[in-house]
Amino acid sequence: MPNRHGPGTHLGYLMPPPGHEITAHQEHILRITYGECRKHEYPGESHENKERCARIAWAAAKRG
């Protein structure tokens, strides 16, 4: 849903759960990248779009 608010959201999208311990910086990158991807690159609620953006965001967080 692109209208969520609160911690772990960006542009209305809730980031995927970390599942393990990550740094605050990695969490920030994960949240921002996931929201931007869902908003601009792969909008919509399809499972494929969500999964694609999660993979992109995790890759960015691991590099960051």
Tens of pLDDT along 17-31?
A: 887 889 999 999 999
pLDDT at 1 over 60: no
- Other Cβ atoms less than 10 A from the Cβ of 49: the count is 15
Q: Which secondary-structure segment (H or E) carries 61?
A: helix 47-63
Query: Considering the entire predicted model, what is its pTM?
Result: 0.87
Residue 21 CA, chain-centre distance (Å), reads 16
The mean pLDDT of the chain is 91
The tokens describing 16, both together, are 């995927």
Give the Cα separation of 6 and 46 in Å (integer): 23
